Amino acid sequence: MATLQLDLAERSYPIYIDSHLLQAGELLSKHIRGQRVCVVTNNIVAELYLPALQQLLSNFQVDEIILPDGEAEKSLHNFEKIMSHLLENTHGRDSTLIALGGGVIGDITGFAAACYQRGIDFIQVPTTLLSQVDSSVGGKTAVNHPLGKNMIGAFYQPKAVLIDIDSLQTLPAREFSAGMAEVIKYGILGDSIFFEWLEHHIEDINAQIPAVLVEMIQRCCQCKADIVSADETEAGCRALLNLGHTFGHAIEAEQGYGNWLHGEAVATGMVLAAKLSVAMNLLEASELRRIESLLAAFNLPLDAPDTMNFTSFIKHMRRDKKNIGGKLRLIIPNAIGEAVMRDDISEDMLQQIL
């Protein structure tokens, strides 16, 4: 089993990566301090994995909240539904929430944990590739609003993250590809050696060879853990993890949450950021082609929706959380393995790219 530690002083926590973790009862139970547990999941994941989790938790008093599947469900309405369930079932500060699912479930469960009685424990059990390599680690929790993605939320760390790679066997191919966008992101923003490793392991990754998946997920989690340990609340280097996200969030909001998967939007966003960098004479055109080639190898989109133009992009980008003083701040790659934040990119320059 691969085990990492995200170091945040008294809020540090372990990240476990292996097969068969949904059969490892002692590993889970040692991170639950009380007797009350509430599992938050969705209808698809519940059918696949909730019985196994319930068996692991047989020594605890457990109830469940089962939400519909989809990005559109990461809403204030469902946040209120979780709050009402916890209150109606008299959960206290010694209760633990368990997020069993992908990024939507992890984000909304974490936000509920941060808010309920001003903060209770929660544990991440991510079941999609995207959530395993990105959203389950680092303590970003949120819900969406029609005017912007993840604009209502909190930084709130879990007590542990259990990543069972066996759950990827039931993941639809499109969802697996979407997760690969976040994997590739780590190579572009800060690890050229990892990017090259991905180029050499395309077939093994697509075949989901267990040892290759564990190594890939571990490298992604280690990269994110190092960045979050240095900058938990995104005052500096953590913003680099948003490579492709400013463009991507605009696509998601404009197209309607769930019509483009988050990873698909991020993939296109990274291509747009790379094209912008080429136009600024920073990124070599050959490196843009490598980025596009690797994304295409995992069936990810490279082009923005035909229905979107500069106007539809910029209205969302002006609301981005990284912006300060009305200035757009974008993450762009200077090279494969090096990304920077820039606040000197004019809207005229963006219009040429978009």
d(CA 275, CA 351): 12
For the question of residue 242 being annotated catalytic, the response is yes
The catalytically annotated residue of 185, 242, 254, 287 is 242
For the question of residue 224 being annotated catalytic, the response is yes
The catalytically annotated residue of 182, 232, 252, 264 is 182
- Helix H segments across the chain? 25-29, 43-56, 76-88, 103-115, 129-130, 173-190, 192-200, 202-206, 210-230, 245-255, 262-279, 285-297, 310-317, 347-353
The catalytically annotated residue of 91, 149, 219, 238 is 238
For the question of residue 118 being annotated catalytic, the response is yes
The catalytically annotated residue of 91, 149, 249, 329 is 249
The catalytically annotated residue of 74, 149, 224, 329 is 224
In this structure, what token pair is assigned to residue 216?
């890939």
- Contacts for 112 with CB less than 8 Å, ≥ 6 apart: 40, 79, 82, 83, 86, 97, 122
In this structure, what token pair is assigned to residue 166?
């066996």
For the question of residue 145 being annotated catalytic, the response is no
For the question of residue 319 being annotated catalytic, the response is no
Under a CB-based contact definition with an 8 Å cutoff, are residues 64 and 38 in contact?
A: yes
Helices then strands, each counted (H, E), the chain: 14, 11
61-67 and 36-42 strand pairing: parallel
Under a CB-based contact definition with an 8 Å cutoff, are residues 36 and 60 in contact?
A: yes
For the question of residue 245 being annotated catalytic, the response is yes
The catalytically annotated residue of 74, 140, 316, 321 is 140
The catalytically annotated residue of 36, 245, 275, 316 is 245
In this structure, what token pair is assigned to residue 213?
């998946």
d(CA 136, CA 240): 17
For the question of residue 329 being annotated catalytic, the response is no
The catalytically annotated residue of 73, 234, 254, 264 is 234
Distances (CA, A) of 32 to 27, 50, 91, 164, 250: 10, 17, 14, 18, 38
For the question of residue 77 being annotated catalytic, the response is no
In this structure, what token pair is assigned to residue 144?
């969406």
Q: Which residues have a catalytic role annotated?
A: 118, 140, 182, 224, 234, 238, 242, 245, 249, 262
